[in-house]
Structure 1
Amino acid sequence: MEEVLAIVAIFIALPWIVLHYITKWKTSATITTDDEALLEELYNLAKRLDERMDTVERLVSSDNPDFRPARLAYDSEQDNQQLRELEQLIAEKKGAAK
């Protein structure tokens, strides 16, 4: 009886446990469509906030010539280039999904 139990454990239970956790690992490693939508919404919000911050700093600097922006890189071309690349990736992903 113990031999049968050992054979069942080795050839049925052990592979089932391994395959079960491999499946769990693969499904948890992917990003869901809800997660993608949330990330896109957060990206758009961050972009709008960045534009607002640029506007506020421009207005304050026009009223007060001694004002120095608190941000290290005011409307940096390097930052803008990274945003354009990210927008291009999002547009390509949307085009591929359709």
Structure 2
Amino acid sequence: MEEVFAVVAIFIALPWIVMHYVTKWKTSASITSDDEVLLEELYNLAKRLDERMDTVERLVASDNADFKPARLVHDSEVDNQQLRELEQMMAEKKGSMK
């Protein structure tokens, strides 16, 4: 009786447990459409806040000659290139969803 239990445990239960968790891992590794919408909203919010920060820094700098912006590099081309690539990827994703 113990041999049958051992065979069942090794050849049925163990692979079932492994496959169960592999399936769980694969399904949780991808983001859902709700996650994509949330990321897009957060991206747009961050972009608007960045533009507002630029405006505030410009206004304060025009009123106070001693003002030094908190950011080290204002409107960096490297950052802008990465943002353009991200916007292009989002546009392509929207185009493929239609």
TM-score (norm 1): 0.92
1 or 2 for the larger relative contact order (CA 8 Å, sep ≥6)?
Answer: 1
Structure 1 unpaired stretches of 5+ = none
The residue that corresponds to 1:45 in the other structure is 45
TM-score (norm 2): 0.92
Aligned residues: 98
Task: Provide the aligned C-alpha RMSD in A.
Answer: 1.1
Listed as ranges, the matches of 1:61-80 within 5 Å are: 61-80=61-80
The residue that corresponds to 1:30 in the other structure is 30
Q: Distance in 2 between matches of 1:67 and 1:6?
A: 76
Which digits, 9 at most, give the CA deviation of each residue in 1:32-67, with x for residues without a partner? 111111111111110000000011111111222222
Of 22-31 and 56-65, deviating more is 56-65
The residue that corresponds to 2:8 in the other structure is 8
Aligned residues: percent identity? 83
